[in-house]
Structure 1
């Protein structure tokens, strides 16, 4: 494994306020657009950028070296997934707040100024996520969600939440009943863009590396709430997430397998103890069946996207 530091962020005040941590795998053009937009999204705060590259072959590393020499770069020789490389970035980050950011995101004007101000004004908030939009401008509903308990998962995958979008009974997983422009305490936010208070990591530790990729954000939010921190959705800050261009398309079948494996690990770690063996058995069976269907669907699909397709 080769670790190479190219440079540091141009702001040199101390203490540093925000560290942007990005894991990249063959997302060069999206990453370039993301980095170009950062100065507009963080105008009132001091910041640094740390990128961990997972052995990209599309010229990402060369692009960073040439166009963004102030980025702090860590190069891995192979694809180490998401969680371990993100921890590599978090370990060297110097900021008071740490932002986990996907390379295929496009931050809105002042987005991180707003997130930072909100968290400074609310010290009980340990994790905060912005309003995340799909490329067509619609809400990416996964940016605010529940802890994915069995009933929430059943109503989501069965489509009941679409039939009753304003129901708190059927719409819990994606909080479909919650107005998209309403600031709210939630159980989990998306790791595509998530601001974390350093004190949270000091208390509960880093991301759990048993998750190769996927569900590490749900696990981290769950652990933070267990430790007494609040998790918030703050729609005044807006970020566009293209979805599926941060590395999952490079190895789509592995991505599908890891998504389902990660949910099972998350379920066993946090939720299984709250339910009887019958419920747990049905959950494991359901995830296995969905994995099989997803692999078959991907085989016959022209566009292979891990998780929910982003419009």
Structure 2
């Protein structure tokens, strides 16, 4: 029996949330929970969520309406806490995703193969066919600096440093150990939260995904990028829309916090031994 909860964070998500929820309702599992935390949306997001009339007794949807934008960690933690005692698996989702049965089943099966497989993420593609680098090496100050410079060559150099080593395969040619996964779609056992804790609320917006994956690695769990399956992700890339913005400032603060917490800055080699022993 599979009991799974989908944790969705919304913030002015009227353009995407209907498709996201609809894709979850098309799944076939014994028990499906949908836990949504809304960060004070001012558009029609709440109306769209409330328009769903759940008739399937195996599906339960909860909505937590927050008065303001509390960021990605506090909000997701509220949604996780509201549901985790009822399920065996958690799927963290962005509101601009569209999932499918094959992908979720395959990632759950990877968790079943080895209890040390902690977090699984799929290949993510936008509707226009852009394949996103959803499994990456751990970011360093060098990588972030190169990607922020207004020169295509240097930006591409920074992006190349993030690319996963194709030799770090696990099980087959399409499953890789990676430093971290974009949190637009994670699948994990609920017990992972009990073992390593919730998302770090000292980070408002990013890189909460890096921090959580690093914590999984440090505690002996694998972080795996599963290229056998894919989902749709429209990837709004909020931090790149405005150079001078609250999101970018919060991202910078989050990076500084990450570097201090894990005691690295220019190189992540101190962590590479954790995933260099691929089978």
Q: TM-score range by the shorter chain?
A: 0.7 to 0.9
Instruction: Tell me by how many angstroms 1:155 deviates.
Output: 6.1
Match of residue 8 from structure 2: 22
Aligned residue for 2:164? Answer: 175
Q: How does 1:191-230 map to 2 (within 5 A)?
A: 191-230=183-222
Q: Deviations over 1:176-225 (max 9, x none)?
A: 75799721111111111111222221111100001011111100000110
Distance 1:245 1:160 in 2: 19
Number of the residue aligned with 2:78 = 88
**Contact 2:142–2:266 (CA<8 Å) still a contact in 1?**
no
How far apart in 2 are the matches of 1:161 and 1:182? 26
CA displacement at 1:226 relative to structure 2: 0.3
Is the aligned partner of 1:35 residue 2:21? Answer: yes
**Change over 3 Å in CA distance of 1:154–1:45 after alignment to 2:** farther
- Which secondary structure state, in structure 2, belongs to the residue aligned with residue 129 of structure 1? strand
Contact 1:45/1:113, CA 8 A, preserved across alignment: no
Q: Secondary structure at the match of 1:63?
A: helix
Instruction: Answer yes or no: is 1:260 the counterpart of 2:249.
Output: no
Q: CA deviation at 1:74?
A: 0.5
For 1:52 and 1:178, the matched residues in 2 are separated by 38
Once the two structures are TM-superposed, the CA of residue 101 in structure 1 deviates from its matched residue by 0.3
* Other structure's SS at 1:132 match: strand
How far off is 1:266 after superposition? 1.2
**Aligned with 1:76 (options 48, 61, 66):** 66
Alignment partner of 2:64: what SS?
strand
Quick one: structure 1 residues 267 and 220, their matched pair in 2 at CA, closer, same or farther if it must change by over 3 Å? same
Native 8 Å contact 2:107 2:120 kept in 1: yes
**1:209/1:273 Cα in 2 relative to 1: closer, same or farther (>3 Å)?**
same
User: 2:157 and 2:241 mapped to 1: Cα distance?
Assistant: 31
Q: Distance in 1 between matches of 2:161 and 2:114?
A: 25
Equivalent pairs counted in the alignment come to 254
The Cα of 1:236 is off from its aligned counterpart by: 2.1
**CA–CA distance in structure 1, aligned partners of residues 131 and 113 of structure 2:** 26
* Higher share in strand: 2
Give 2:31's match in structure 1, choosing from 7, 23, 46.
Answer: 46
1:87-145 deviations in whole A, cap 9, x for unaligned? Answer: 0011122221111100011124522122112212232101111111133222101x101
Comparing 147-156 and 47-56, the one that deviates more: 147-156
1:5 corresponds to: none
Task: Specify the alignment match of 2:271 in structure 1.
Answer: none
CA distance in 2, matches of 1:274, 1:175: 17
User: What is the TM-score of this pair, normalised by structure 2?
Assistant: 0.80
- 1:284-299 maps to which residues of 2 (within 5 A)? none
Structure 1, residues 236-285: CA drift from partner, whole Å, max 9, x if none? 221111122889979x811121122211211221133897xxxxxxxxxx
CA 253–161 in structure 1, closer or farther in 2 if over 3 Å, else same: closer
Q: Secondary structure at the match of 1:101?
A: strand
SS of 2:51's partner is: helix
